[in-house]
Amino acid sequence: MFVLGILLNSEAEAKQTMCVFDLLGAGGDVYAMMKDYRLEATKWGADIELKSYTDERIAAEDFKAGQCDGLSLTGMRGRQFNAFTGSIDSIGAITTYAQMRDVLGLLSSPKISSSMVNGAYEVVGVTPLGAAYLLVNDRSINNLPKIAGKKIAVFDYDKSQAIMVQKIGAQPVSADITNFAGKFNNGQVDIIAAPAMAIKPLELYKGLGTKGAIIRFPIIQITGNIIINRAAFPTGFGQKSREYIATHIDSALKNIVKTEKDIAEKYWVDVLETDKPGYIKLMRESRITLMTNGIYDKKMLGLLKRVRCKHEPSSFECALKDE
C-alpha cells in the first residue's frame, strides 16, 4: 500500500506539458492568458509547463503524438478532438455576443460535462475570440451575386468552409491560419473571414487598402479551446477548469467589442436589411447539410438553436424541427 501511495502521489504531481498555439508566439495575448491559467491550475493539482507554437497544425499533431498533455488552439481545428464543442464555430449559428455569453456559460455546467469528453480527450475550456467577418479587397463586393466567382481563402482542415464557398459560387483557395493573411494582403485572394482581433497583428489593413471593407455581418464565432489528455491530469481537473474559464467570459467579450469599435468606421460596410433573411436562410441550410454529413454535431446545433430562440423567439426557425 505504501508503494502504491507513492506511485499515485507521483502521478498527481507529474508536470504536464501544454502546447499553446498563438500566431504571435510567446508574446501573444493567448499565450499570456495561458500563463495566468497555468498559475490557477496549480490549485487543481496540476503543474503545467507551456510550450509555444506559431503553427497550429504542428501543435495539434504534437498533442496527438503524445508530446504534449494539453493543447490550446482554435475551436475549428479542435473539432477533430470533440465535435460537440467544435460545432460552436458553425456557420451563422451564433449571431450576437449575448447569445455567445449564454452558450459559453452553459458549457461550465456539470450537467453537460459528459459531452466535453471524447475518448481520451476532454475539453476543459472554451473562450470567445470574436465574430469572423468577411474582409473584401473591394467594397463593391457587398452581396452574394457579387461574391460569385471571387477567390476566397478556406482552411483545408475545415471542410465546412469549402462547402459553403462552393455553395455561393465563389472559388475556394486553399490556405491555413499561418498564410491566409498573406494571401489576402498580396492579392492572391479577394476575400477572407477573420475576427477583429486578427486585423492589426496580421496587418490586414494592407489587403483592405483604400478600396476594401469589412462586412458587418458575423459569419461564425471563433473560439479558443483548451483540451487535455485526461490520463495526464488529476481527477476533476476538467470541471474546475471549465468553471474558472466561465468567470472570464464577460471580460473577454468586452475586450472583443472594444477591439471591433477601435477599427475605423470607414472600413465597415453594413449588409442591407433586405438581404439579411436570404443570408440567414443560406447559412441555416448549410449547417443542416454539414450536420447531415457528420461535420457538425447535432446535439450542439440543437443547443445553439435553443439559445437563438431564447433571444429571438419570433424567428421563423423556432417552429422548425430540423436543427
pLDDT for position 10: 43
Q: Is 70 exceeded by the pLDDT of residue 38?
A: yes
158 and 233 share one domain:
no
pTM for the whole structure: 0.91
> What is 273-323 written as a DSSP string?
TTTHHHHHHHHHHHHHHHHHTTSS-HHHHHHHHHHHHHH-TTSGGGG----
pLDDT at 195: 96
Clarify whether residues 68 and 101 are in a common domain: yes
Q: Are the C-beta atoms of residues 76 and 157 closer than 8 Å to each other?
A: yes
CA distance 112 to 276: 33
Q: What are 129-142's pLDDT values in tens digits?
A: 999 999 999 999 98
Q: What is the mean pLDDT of residues 51-73?
A: 97
Residues 272 and 253 in one domain: no
Res. 13 pLDDT band, cuts 50 70 90: low
Q: How many domains does the chain have?
A: 2
The predicted model gives 292-306 an average pLDDT of 95
Query: Residue type at 186?
Result: N
Contacts 24+ apart (CB under 8 A), 6-15: 12/45, 12/234, 13/47, 14/47, 14/232, 15/47, 15/48, 15/49
Q: 1 versus 150: which is more confidently predicted?
A: 150
CATH number at residue 41: 3.40.190.170
Q: Please determine, for residue 34, whether its predicted confidence score (pLDDT) is greater than 60.
A: yes
Mean pLDDT for 282-305 is: 94
Pair (63, 51) in one structural domain:
yes
Angstrom distance (rounded) from CA 150 to CA 153: 10
**Confidence tier at 260 by pLDDT (50, 70, 90):** very high
- Provide, rounded to the nearest whole percent, the portion of the chain with pLDDT above 70: 96
Quick one: CA torsion of 302, 307, 313, 314, rounded to 10 degrees?
Answer: -70
Whether residue 233 sits in one domain with residue 91: yes
Same-domain check for residues 157 and 170 = yes
Which domain-ending residue is among 244, 261, 278? Answer: 261
The pLDDT of residue 11 is 45
* pLDDT band of 162, cuts 50, 70, 90: confident
| 3-class SS of residue 29 | helix
The predicted pLDDT at position 3 comes to 43
Question: Does residue 7 surpass a pLDDT of 60?
Answer: no
- For residue 311, give the nearest of 87, 96, 104 by alpha carbon: 96
**What nine digits make up the cell of 45?**
493539482
Distance separating alpha carbons of residues 33 and 80, to the nearest angstrom: 23
For the chain, how big is the Rg over CA atoms in Å? Answer: 20
Block residue for cell numbers 495526464: 232
Task: Compute the average pLDDT of residues 15-35.
Answer: 94
Residues 281, 202, single domain; the answer is yes
Residue range 213-248, pLDDT digits in tens: 999 999 999 999 999 999 999 999 999 999 999 999
Instruction: Give the model's confidence band at 321: pLDDT under 50 very low, under 70 low, under 90 confident, else very high.
Output: confident
Q: Same structural domain for residues 275 and 162?
A: yes
pLDDT of residue 165: 87
Q: What is the DSSP letter of 135?
A: E
Domain that holds residue 98: 2-130+221-261
26 & 139 share domain: no
Question: Are 76 and 149 contained in the same domain?
Answer: no
Output the average pLDDT for the chain: 92
pLDDT at 4 over 80: no
User: Could you tell me the three cell numbers for 182?
Assistant: 498573406
Give the Cα separation of 196 and 235 in Å (integer): 37
Residues 108 and 148 in one domain: no
* CA distances from residue 147 to 136, 138, 310 in whole angstroms, order as listed: 9, 11, 32
Q: Are residues 88 and 197 in the same domain?
A: no
